[in-house]
Amino acid sequence: MASFDNFILTRWAYAALALFVLVAALPGLIWMPALDRDESRFSQASSQMLETGDYVVIRYHDGLRNKKPVGIHWMQTAIVSATSGAEARDIFAFRIPSLLGAMLAAMATFWGGTALFSRRAAFIGAALLGSCLLLTSEAHIAKTDAALCGVMALMMAALAHMRIGEGRYTGLIFWVCMAVGVLLKGVISPMIGGLCILALFAWERRIEWARPLLWWPGLSLFAILTLPWFIAVQVATGGAFLWEAAAVDLGQKIVRAAEGHKGPPGMHLASLPLLFWPGTLLLAPGLWMAIQTLANQRMHARAAPSPGPRMSSLGAAASPSPAPSSSVTDAWSAGEAGAWRFLACWAVPAWIIFEIAPTKLVHYTLPIYPAFALMAGAAADRWFESGVWTRDRWVSLALFVGVSVILAGLATPWALAALRIDAAREFGPELADRVNFLWREAWRATGIGFWPSILIVLTSAATVYAFVRKLALPMLAGILACSLVGGISYRAAVLPNQTWMLPTVAAIDALTELCALPEDTALWKASGCTGAAPKEIHAISYAEPSLVFELGGKITLPPESVPVIPTVAEDNRPAWLINANEPEGREALDALTRAAASVDRCIRFSRRYALNYSNGDPSILVAAVVEPDGCVTELTPEELRPAPEDVPELVD
């Protein structure tokens, strides 16, 4: 333990936290395809900024995207322009701001925790945050949430240091982070930061610690960083941006469940053990310690926060427990009282708002996770010092084991087969067996088998053993190992190979088979195809943002379902992507076939089956390309339905 304490006293502790988050998220950055829908919308809008040179107005395809502010787009365009370029359509580059945000979140939690508890407790809390399933998942998705978590963790860390009297510059950091948070996701950072400050004022009846917030450079920087873009976009959109972002996007989420993302009050709390895994093993002790400590606050001195945490002989802030004891009262001090109040005011008011809001997505509460992580870190540090845990120990263990079993079970071939069979039934009795056969063979070809589940079970079992035997550092190492193994298993092996639920991947595969990818796109150049290429893809009944992004925007989404074949001079190989499982798609496919026959031009087809995970609908994706000349055979194009001889033998 002494070598561990010595290490976390150095600056290398920050580097270790950042490196861990990088390794945990890297498999997703590399292997996960562009996701629907928000990630691909953000990435496509950023690409269009680079292509048009307009860094004020946010556009997606042919329309305005007046929903979120511009912050993440500026971050993405800066990274992409310095690395791959918009034309490369490298989703990895668009994800780097999210990765950097997650790394910042872990480091900022460590820095903020040192103003609240011991340095050891702060490091453990930061490590738990950096390893949790939600943050490491958001770290490889090119949208606002991981970046927002990093900025807000730094903002709240500055507030924590402000409370122990570290001067004006903490106020400056607070306002800069608040401004970046506003540019990333609007009202979320003012809401969480403002509620925390107001709750502390009401609880403690003290305001002098917040004087650095009134220092004019901080307020000025906030205005300088935020107002120019909001004014510019209002002028450029004729006043439409703020109306649509506030009244249409945010307003709908407040008054009702927007876009089908509804959930009952308590949904975020119920999902916390899963999303905080593997730190779930220490979450219950942290929450229990917070509740018990704050509930007994009246039994202790009502002193204000001390000028700083008590220092240990190592030079780090002292542990919350000055002596081994299971009683929270023995650990009480004025400084620690302020620390627990701070974490409660950070977490509780904002959490209540997220729980009662009708629109619910699991990542909404991510900016609150650093507070929970520090609670868990403080409880773990107390156990390291005293070796005593009480009633919360077995609750914590049960939650960890339950989530580990779920994650290991879902990765087994049996569970994946059950999911495929259920999804294949959506295609109807005539196609269900054929579709399931094709999906099953595609999964078998990967050769992955049971090893992801086995690795998750082994690392989880080792962590449980260390927990039960009270082996502090091996238990912490086991938690981090669970995060790495789980992340690699799912993000590098299991999820990227579920092509049956990745319809855009299936669509691109069908277009590639026909060499029907748009000209001058990254996909066309990588396909190895030669000769003429379509100028663009006409998509009917399938318009997922991931397809728009992957095709470099060279896609039209015609509202009508009657395809019009352009002349050879306009496009000598026009191509379509049609979802033939929709009535409009079937009509369009029939009309396209007749139109090609009427002008004596050959039409070729390629077909794939996929379940659209964005809306749960089955999709029969048909790629069609119309050649400039007639077909070499006089046979009419075969009908796009399975003939008896076309169905392979179903062999288990």
Cα–Cα distance for residue pair 517/537, rounded to 1 Å: 8
Strands 63-64 and 59-60: antiparallel
Ramachandran sector of residue 89 (left: φ over 0; alpha: ψ -120 to 50; beta: rest): left
Cα dist from 508 to 45, 350, 541, 607, whole Å: 21, 42, 15, 11
Asked if the peptide bond before residue 278 counts as cis, ω within 30 degrees of 0, the response is: yes
Q: Where are the strands (E) in 506-616, listed by range?
A: 537-540, 555-556, 575-579, 603-612
- For 261-297, the pLDDT digits (tens) are 678 899 999 999 999 999 999 999 999 999 888 887 7
Cα–Cα distance for residue pair 61/551, rounded to 1 Å: 11
Q: Are 554 and 593 in contact (CB under 8 A)?
A: no
Domain ranges of the chain: 2-390, 403-500, 502-646
First to last CA, the chain: 54
Cross-strand pairs, 620: 609
DSSP per-residue codes, 358-417: SB--GGGGGGGHHHHHHHHHHHHHHHHHH----THHHHHHHHHHHHHHHHHHHTSHHHHH
Cα–Cα distance for residue pair 390/302, rounded to 1 Å: 27
Secondary structure letter of residue 498 according to DSSP? -
What are the structure tokens assigned to 235, written together? 């002028």
Comparing CA positions, the residue from 460, 484, 463 lying closest to residue 475 is 463
- For 372-401, the pLDDT digits (tens) are 999 999 999 988 888 776 667 888 999 999
Please give the average per-residue pLDDT across 499-527, as a whole number.
Answer: 94
Secondary structure letter of residue 543 according to DSSP? -
Map tokens 């088979």 to a residue. Answer: 513
Radius of gyration for the alpha carbons in the chain, expressed in angstroms and rounded: 28
Secondary structure letter of residue 311 according to DSSP? B
pLDDT of residue 649 exceeding 90? no
- For 115-124, the pLDDT digits (tens) are 999 999 999 9
The amino acid present at 360, given as its one-letter code, is K
pLDDT of residue 479 exceeding 60? yes
Torsion sign, CA atoms 466, 472, 476, 477: negative
Cα–Cα distance for residue pair 404/400, rounded to 1 Å: 6
User: Three-state DSSP class for 317?
Assistant: strand
What are the structure tokens assigned to 389, written together? 């845990």
pLDDT of residue 322 exceeding 90? no
Cα–Cα distance for residue pair 34/142, rounded to 1 Å: 9
**pLDDT recorded at residue 390:** 62
What are the structure tokens assigned to 220, written together? 């000025």
Torsion sign, CA atoms 325, 326, 327, 333: positive
Comparing CA positions, the residue from 263, 253, 254, 39 lying closest to residue 144 is 39
Comparing CA positions, the residue from 99, 182, 110, 177 lying closest to residue 138 is 99
- For 28-87, the pLDDT digits (tens) are 999 999 999 999 999 999 999 999 999 999 999 989 999 999 999 999 999 999 998 999
The amino acid present at 7, given as its one-letter code, is F
Q: How many CB atoms lie within 10 A of CB 514?
A: 18
User: Three-state DSSP class for 525?
Assistant: helix
**pLDDT recorded at residue 327:** 42
DSSP per-residue codes, 90-118: -HHHHHHHHHHHHHHHHHHHHHHHTTTS-
Secondary structure letter of residue 83 according to DSSP? T
DSSP per-residue codes, 20-36: HHHHHHHHHHHHSPPPT
The mean pLDDT value of the chain amounts to 89
Read off the pLDDT band of 303 (50, 70, 90): very low
**pLDDT recorded at residue 264:** 87
Cα–Cα distance for residue pair 256/498, rounded to 1 Å: 33
List of residues 6+ apart from 237 with CB closer than 8 A? 57, 64, 66
What are the structure tokens assigned to 395, written together? 């609750």
pLDDT above 90: percentage of residues in the chain = 75
Q: Are 344 and 291 in contact (CB under 8 A)?
A: no
Cα–Cα distance for residue pair 541/524, rounded to 1 Å: 23
Exposure letters 256-287 (e unless 16+ CB within 10 A, then b): eebeeeebeeebbeeebbbbbbbbbbbbbbbb
**pLDDT recorded at residue 115:** 95
List of residues 6+ apart from 563 with CB closer than 8 A? 538, 540, 576, 588, 591, 592, 595
pLDDT of residue 213 exceeding 60? yes
Ramachandran sector of residue 53 (left: φ over 0; alpha: ψ -120 to 50; beta: rest): left
Secondary structure letter of residue 521 according to DSSP? S
Comparing CA positions, the residue from 127, 123, 121 lying closest to residue 378 is 121
Q: Are 281 and 476 in contact (CB under 8 A)?
A: no
Cα–Cα distance for residue pair 134/275, rounded to 1 Å: 5
